[in-house]
Structure 1
Amino acid sequence: MGEGISGFTLLPVSTAASLVGMFSFLTVMRWWRYAGHRQVLGFQVPVPGRWTLLSGVCSAAIIGTTTLAYTLPGASIVFMMLLMRGGVLVLAPLVDVLSGRRVRWPSWAALGLSFAAVAVAAGSSVSPTLTLLAAADVGVYLAAYFFRLRAMSHLAKSGEREVSIRYFVEEQMVATPLLVGTLAVLALLGGEGVLGDLRAGFTEALSRGHLLSEIAVGLLSQATGIFGGLILLDGRENAYCVPVNRASSVLAGVLATGVLAVTLGAPGAGALELTGAALVVAAMAVLAVPTVLAARRKAGARAASPPGDVRRVSAASARTRGG
């Protein structure tokens, strides 16, 4: 985007694109039917529940604070990354304990490796300066993630597909509309500083000359929200799901850095970033251990069973997948 624009100016178009992207996704997937419905004026209208409404508000806060985090003046981008990603990693086992979930050893090990990856990637380049606005941004982000993970653990992390989809739909039908509506109200108020930037985000979208880039930011941000949200809704403990979510982010950052280095001549990933990525790969390998061992045990049991037992096991597996 050349000289770049204010993060607050970027929010209106990017969040509006996120709104269109999310509602299009839910429609194409035909997931609206999973939401709770209520009859309004003779029509069945999807409505959120109490917990999904709270989670949607938190998700809206996460979207907004994430977009702002790397655009705030006077705050180190790397330091913001460390606080936000590392903070959520710390929250994961805390939420599990509060929710009465057992945290298995692979999750503890991957959690430690993921946190080490964030810290190593930051390395000596971290400038531990934090403006008041940046501190507020991080605080809102972590508080929103805490309540969102708590809500997910309370209602949706059961391993049942329909329950997870229902939660996801009801949460997302609140999140982006709420954020876009809030930004629109603030823009109407107008004024100097942040309010002026928000109004410019709406009124000068065409004149800035990079509308497609701003729309792409919103659509790609929403895509990470879709896949990241579904990862967090997995039935396993948060100490498992959060490292998977955060590790994916670290690997994406390393890949993007490499692409920018090749295509635009930007600085490539340094030794510390690559070391952090290697720790992320190690964390993912540790998380895969229980699945691999379970698959080997199942294969061994089938090999040791008589042919008739194997057929019965296969039929039972087919019925389970069908259900």
Structure 2
Amino acid sequence: MYAFGYFAAYAPYSALTKALSGGLLPGMTHGISGFTLLPVSAMASLVGMFVFITLKRWWRYAGHREVLGLRVPLPGRWTLLSGFCSAAIIGTTTLSYTLPGASIVFMMLLMRGGVLVLAPLVDVLSGRRVRWPSWVALGLSLGALVVATGTNVSFTLTLVAALDVGVYLASYFFRLRAMSHLAKSGDPAVSIRYFVEEQMVATPVLVALLAFLALLGGDGILGDIRAGFTGVLSRGHLLEEVLVGLLSQGTGIFGGLILLDSRENAFTVPVNRASSVLAGVLATWGLSAWVGLPGVGVGELAGASLLVGAMAVLAVPTVLAMRRPRPSGALP
């Protein structure tokens, strides 16, 4: 269920972000830079996060402390740091889809493939046993990365993407380590507490950082960020920018809940990554039909097929368990 939610949020999120940055929507004369998109999308994500947790009534799971006579939810030390990492992941993910000349699928494979490599490393460091379906799925997922990326990648793109990808992967490494240590216990209350405390940090930190950078002023990136705040109405695409933020928060919610599953990271990460890459393929098809961008290449389609195989392998233990005869007297 969480994997489908992640897929359903990621496909329109990546397509709409690419369309806005490329100036592809009706009435647009030029694209909106990734740094200009971030302020509105981050604020929309913040609102979406608070609404979701409130509707689920999950605030009670967070740690509470008394501040000025009031009991308020506050994160712990590790969930605070994990929230900072999650903020970095949100920002770098949105920016990755605005890099000139980068296809959605290529950037997703570049970043997702790195996390796939990190997954078993984190499991080993955390003392978790990696089962054979997870190893097979990991191999298929990495194979998908190699097949879909191919050799047609410009050196300039690699330089531009390097910092974005580096921050993204470093943030994921710490986040997976913290999850493995604190939350992947099989106790739903523990997982929800981690999720709430991390989420209540991530988007507020991102919005605060963007506001600080906008106040600094200047040209280049700082100017783009300031324009994200000051030109929100003049750009004429407020609804689409808000939708990018809400969909981004949707991917954060469903993606986080997938990763908090008690099974090893070599299981949860391929499920998470495969859902997003398949969503990227759908987004690329959609943009091709909608605005005439290049469609999905043969290599990218082959990579997506390998990911479908990886998800099928991961389902093997569940299918076998369902077919196993129940012991007499067991509950239905």
Counterparts of 2:233 and 2:264, CA distance in 1: 45
**Is residue 2:239 matched to residue 1:212?**
yes
Q: What is the match of residue 321 of structure 1?
A: none
Which residue of the other structure, out of 190, 201, 206, is the alignment partner of 1:174? Answer: 201
Contact in 1 for aligned 2:105/2:280 (Cα 8 Å): no
Partners of 2:130 and 2:264 within 8 A in 1? yes
SS in 2 for 1:71: coil
Amino acid at match of 1:235: S
Say which one has the larger Rg.
1
**2:276 is aligned with 1:249:** yes
Distance 1:131 1:247, change over 3 A: closer
Q: Within the alignment, does 1:301 sit opposite 2:322 as a pair? A: no
Deviation of residue 259 (structure 1)? 2.5
C-alpha distance 221-85 of structure 1, shift in aligned 2 (>3 A) = same
Check whether the contact 1:78–1:125 (CA below 8 A) recurs between aligned residues: no
In the aligned structure 2, how far is the partner of 1:243 from the partner of 1:78? 16
* Contact 2:75–2:198, Cα closer than 8 Å, also in 1: yes
Give the match for residue 143 of structure 1.
Answer: 170
Alignment correspondent of 2:137: 110
Question: CA 1:168/1:151 → structure 2, altered by over 3 Å: closer, same or farther?
Answer: same
The answer on whether the counterparts of 1:92 and 1:238 sit within 8 Å (CA) in structure 2 is yes
CA separation of 1:284/1:77 partners in 2, compared to 1, >3 Å: closer, same or farther?
closer
The residue number in structure 2 matching 1:280 is 307
Flag the 1:147–1:68 CA change in 2: closer, same or farther, 3 A. Answer: same
Q: Which residue is equivalent to 1:193?
A: 220
Give the CA deviation at 1:192.
0.8
Structure 2: how far apart are the matches of 1:295 and 1:11?
45
Q: Deviation at 1:253?
A: 1.2
Whole-angstrom distance in 2 between the partners of 1:13 and 1:278? 35
Distance 1:159 1:248 in 2: 22
1:39 aligns to what SS in structure 2? strand
AA at the equivalent of 1:161: P
Q: Tell me, in whole angstroms, the C-alpha distance in 2 between the residues paired with 1:108 and 1:127.
A: 31
- The aligned runs of 1:30-45 (5 Å cut-off) are 30-45=57-72
Structure 1 position 76, deviation (Å): 7.1
- Using a 3 Å threshold, how does the CA distance of structure 1 residues 271 and 287 change in structure 2: closer, same or farther? same
Which amino acid in the other structure matches residue 59 of structure 2?
A: W
The Cα shift of 1:262 comes to: 3.1
Aligned-pair distance for 1:271? 2.0
- Unmatched segments (≥5 aa) in structure 1: 318-323
* Structure 2 alignment gaps of length 5 or more: 1-19, 24-29
Post-superposition shift, 1:41? 1.8
Shift of 1:43: 1.4
Residues of 1 paired with 2:128 and 2:90: CA distance?
27
Task: State the alpha-carbon separation in 2 of the partners of residues 136 and 157 from structure 1.
Answer: 30
* Segment of structure 1 superposing worse, 260-269 or 143-152: 260-269
2:106 touches 2:148 (CA, 8 Å); kept in 1? no
CA positional deviation for 1:301: 3.1
CA 1:125–1:147 in 2, change beyond 3 Å: closer, same or farther?
same
Output the CA distance in 2 between the equivalents of 1:301 and 1:198: 59
| 1:1-323 → structure 2 map (5 Å cutoff) | 1=20, 2=23, 3-73=30-100, 80-130=107-157, 132-297=159-324, 300-302=325-327, 305=328, 309=329, 313-314=330-331
Deviations 1:110-135 (A, max 9, x none): 01111111221222433344465532
Kept in 2: contact 1:75–1:131 (CA 8 A)? no
Count matched residues: 305
TM-score computed with the length of structure 1 as normaliser: 0.90
What whole-Å deviation, never above 9, does each CA across 1:88-119 have from its counterpart, x for those lacking one?
Answer: 01000000000000000100000111111122
Contact 1:120 1:276 in 2 (8 A): yes
Residues 122-153 of structure 1 show CA distances to partners (whole Å, capped at 9, x for unaligned) of: 22433344465532221111110000000000
Greater CA deviation, 214-223 or 115-124?
115-124
Question: Once the two structures are aligned, what percentage of the paired residues are identical?
Answer: 78
Task: Find the residue that maps to 1:125 and give its secondary structure.
Answer: coil
